[in-house]
Amino acid sequence: MQNFLQQKLFRATLALLLTIGYVLTMPASAASAENLVSIKDAWVRATNPGQEVGAAYMTFLSAKNTTLISVESDATKSVEIHNMSMENGVMKMRMMESLPLVANKPYKLAPGGFHLMLFDLKKPLNIGEPVNFTLTFKNKNKHQFKQTIKVMVQSSDEDSAASKLHK
Ligand SMILES: [Cu+2]
């Protein structure tokens, strides 16, 4: 009898623990549904004295299809999503209204290609200083969510076509 009761108590405790575990994981998964996009390898290119435009680069990886629709930064009032491509041997820069991200496909913003362009900088971007960005994404169901990221200013030794266009 003693044994039977103990077993029953053990089972009840186990069920309770499982319930608690389930309840505890609920808010975490709800939060990660909001936080869909992982942002890696982010950096802002250091500017030269007198330079009023800058560029930021990062890699996006989204768990679901989503679209980057706007970017804000504390370094400037105007951030645009740009793409650079070679057309008939000439490097062209084009503004994009949005950047669609296909689920589980990394999108690399890098010199010579996609980048975030910062216009009318409030101050020079010096190496080692942080720049804050707020990115707004929109899902298929029109639901919008924001993600903030702190990005450090770095130097770039390569004098790429991107930096030439930005000077
Ligand atoms: Cu640009």
Greater pLDDT, 19 or 96? 96
- Give residue 75 CA to ligand 1 midpoint distance, Å: 16
Among the four given CATH numbers 2.60.40.1890, 3.40.50.720, 3.10.450.30, 3.30.43.10, the one describing domain 36-166: 2.60.40.1890
> What is the chain's Cα-based Rg?
23
CA of 27 to the centre of ligand 1 (A): 39
Distance, in Å, from the CA atom of 161 to the CA atom of 25, rounded to the nearest integer, reads 48
pLDDT of 20: 52
Q: Angle at Cα 106 formed by Cα 88 and Cα 86, nearest 5°?
A: 5
Please state the domain extents for the chain: 1-34, 36-166
Separation CA 64–CA 105 (nearest Å): 9
CA of 54 to the centre of ligand 1 (A): 8
Instruction: For residue 7, give both structure tokens.
Output: 């077993």
**What's the gap in Å between 143 CA and the centre of ligand 1?**
28
* CB 118 within 8 Å of CB 78: yes
State the Cα–Cα distance between residues 68 and 96, nearest whole angstrom. Answer: 10
pLDDT value of position 166: 58
Strands 78-87 and 90-96: antiparallel
Cα(38) to ligand 1 centroid in Å equals 23
Q: How far is the CA of 79 from the centre of ligand 1 (A)?
A: 10
CA of 46 to the centre of ligand 1 (A): 15
Question: Measured in angstroms, how far is the CA atom of residue 118 from the centroid of ligand 1?
Answer: 8
Q: To which residue do tokens 């004098």 refer?
A: 159
Q: How far is the CA of 119 from the centre of ligand 1 (A)?
A: 9
Among the listed residues 134, 66, 144, the one whose alpha carbon sits nearest the alpha carbon of residue 99: 66
| Token couple for 25 | 């994981």
Q: How far is the CA of 99 from the centre of ligand 1 (A)?
A: 14
Cβ 68 vs Cβ 111: under 8 Å = no
Find the 25 Cα to ligand 1 centroid distance in Å. Answer: 42
Condensed to tens digits (0 to 9), the pLDDT of residues 83-97 reads 999 889 999 999 999
pLDDT at 82: 97
Please check the confidence at residue 108 and state whether its pLDDT lies above 70: yes
Specify which residues 45 forms β-bridges with. 154
pLDDT digits (tens, 9 = 90+) for 125-167: 999 999 999 999 999 888 999 999 999 999 976 544 455 555 4
